[in-house]
Amino acid sequence: MTDSFPELKPASRILLGPGPSNVHPRVMKAMMSPVVGHLDPDFVAIMEALKGLLRAVFRTANQLTFPASGTGSAGMEMIMANLVEDGDEVIVGINGAFGARLADCGERQGARVIKTQAEWGRIIEPDAVEAALKSARKPKLVAIVHAETSTGAHQPLEAISALAHRYGALMVVDAVTSLGCVPVEVDKWGIDACYSCTQKGLSAPPGLAPVTFSARAMEAVNARKSKCKSWYLDLGMIANYWGENRVYHHTAPITMNYALYEALRVVLEEGLEARFKRHRINAAALHAGLAALGLKLAAEEGYRLPQLSTVSVPDGVDEAKVRAELLANYNIEIAAGLGPFKGKVWRIGLMGESCRRENVTLLLGALEQILTGLGIEVARGSAIAAAADCYAAE
């Protein structure tokens, strides 16, 4: 019987796409720890530690900070399902695929979504958010994506958060691709609810969604007139499990929590500032190398993420062919563009464990070779040299 279902042997890839990123061996090792019950004293101690570790990476003192079960999207849905009631006015910044998802998610919760749009690759301007806040009767929240993984845009949040509060709204942030790569200042920036994932900047496998809720957000949850429409993501019941009471709601994914625990230890051992700096340095080298190859970045200058770069595909180049060759001959995964960027950009991720000098060098060398093979004229050796100069200048 099992002859036709052989042992799993997935390739060991260099993951330079928009996530997942490569997983640290210490995290894989932690996942081999024995599975205990979800109310076992050992697991309860891990839960407490996880809350503390997550507060450190989110830079918050929020009591309710924990990993929700499910990938980053579950974090999004948990926040929207618990903060939004029928008819609430919700302002969503849309400058890429993930902003559009937030709007869709809000609409499914019965919100009246006011969309603040910007062109793909650009950031959402505070003025546009203020206009939307002014147009609302009683805005419940502003939701915005910090790191738009579909475009590579790095959204400044402080001014928008101040505006949201001035108009009596909560500030909700998608930090799925930012946490662990660039600063996410939950308390300093006045973010009321924030969600992330395990498989991008934190370099654990996918499966949990770190979330944090301010006291103000919890007041809104507690003041609901209607029950949360999602049973699985109901914060009241889940807070009872992650809080003092330990009331069973659903079985926590034990092994994934081990993984996140170890991944956060790795992050904090490196130090957040050192980690952010590593992302900046490797991105600068990548960008210098891409420029030497004559490739252009698609995100607005001055607002480019270090951990995710969108690169315009040169005219006449079959973008899928380049990705296929990277995978087949160099073992490297990068990603295609989404929506309006489909066929037009490549998305290159340098997240967490994947964000390393040797990966930058290998990718640049591979791209040079592949583009040359496609008849594109590039100055041989220039990309790796440009990157090396960048590293040397550090």
Q: Interface residues with ligand PLP (CB under 6 A)?
A: 18-19, 71-73, 98, 145, 147, 149, 174, 176-177, 197, 206
36/42 Cα distance (integer angstroms): 8
Q: Least CB distance from residue 98 to ligand PLP, whole Å?
A: 4
For residue 111, what are the contacts with CB-CB under 8 A and spacing of at least 6?
A: 80, 84, 86, 87, 88, 89, 90, 140
Q: How far is the CB of 257 from ligand PLP (least distance, A)?
A: 16
Compute the least distance from the CB of residue 71 to ligand PLP, in Å.
Answer: 3
Q: Which is nearer to ligand PLP, 126 or 206 (CB)?
A: 206
30 or 102, CB closer to ligand PLP? 102
Q: Which is closer to ligand PLP, CB of 145 or CB of 252?
A: 145
The four Cα atoms 359, 364, 366, 370 give a dihedral, to 10 degrees, of: 150
If the CB atoms of residues 289 and 349 are measured against ligand PLP, the closer one turns out to be: 349
Nearest-approach distance from CB 387 to ligand PLP, in angstroms: 25
Closer CB to ligand PLP, residue 299 or residue 386? Answer: 299
**Which residue is closest to ligand PLP by CB?**
72
177 vs 214 by CB, closer to ligand PLP: 177
Q: How far is the CB of 139 from ligand PLP (least distance, A)?
A: 22
Min dist. Cβ of residue 209 to ligand PLP (A)? 7
Distances (CA, A) of 313 to 2, 249, 295, 327, 376: 44, 48, 8, 17, 12
Cα 354 to chain centroid distance, Å, stands at 14
Minimum Å gap between C-beta 58 and ligand PLP is: 16
In the bound state with ligand PLP, the residue whose beta carbon lies nearer, of 88 and 148, is 148
Q: What's the 3-state SS for the chain?
A: CHHHCCCCCCCCCEECCCCCCCCCHHHHHHCCCCCCCCCCHHHHHHHHHHHHHHHHHHCCCCCEEEEEECCHHHHHHHHHHHHCCCCCEEEEEECCHHHHHHHHHHHHCCCEEEEEECCCCCCCCHHHHHHHHHHCCCEEEEEEECEECCCCEECCCHHHHHHHHHCCCEEEEECCCCCCCCCCCCCCCCCCEEECCCCCCCCCCCCEEEEEECHHHHHHHHCCCCCCCCCCCCHHHHHHHHCCCCCCCCCCCHHHHHHHHHHHHHHHHHCHHHHHHHHHHHHHHHHHHHHHCCCCECCCCCCECCCEEEEECCCCCCHHHHHHHHHHHHCEECEECCHHHCCCEEEEECCHHHCCHHHHHHHHHHHHHHHHHCCCCCCCCHHHHHHHHHHHCC
Q: Which is nearer to ligand PLP, 79 or 218 (CB)?
A: 79
CB of 169 to ligand PLP, least distance (A): 21
Q: Which is nearer to ligand PLP, 18 or 139 (CB)?
A: 18
Strand-pair category, 89-94 with 139-145: parallel
* Residue (94 or 147) nearer to ligand PLP, CB: 147
- CB of 187 vs ligand PLP, minimal distance in Å: 21
- Residue 320 CB, nearest approach to ligand PLP (Å): 21
